[in-house]
Amino acid sequence: MGQDIFAIVKQVISKELEVEEEKITPESRIQEDLGADSLDVMNITMRLEDEFNLRIPDEDLTKISTVQDIVDYIQSHLQSS
């Protein structure tokens, strides 16, 4: 399941930021490495919320900086729902 989540997250980020999927790793920092600005982060968040049918509160977004952080967050919230 974790690999599936990573693949979907990678796809969404790639499409939103126009970055090749191969350049996106679990360690990639969304803003520093992939060049996302705050609007990009919001767009990515909304697409992931739709994709996984969950809500990511703003206060949780401040704790997310890498692609792996997103995957871990989604994984833990899908298991608890």
Q: What whole-number distance in Å separates Cα of residue 21 and Cα of residue 77?
A: 24
Annotated catalytic residue, options 4, 33, 37, 69: 37
Active site residue 4: no
DSSP string, 9-45: HHHHHHHHHT--GGG--TT-BTTTTT---HHHHHHHH
Active-site positions read 37
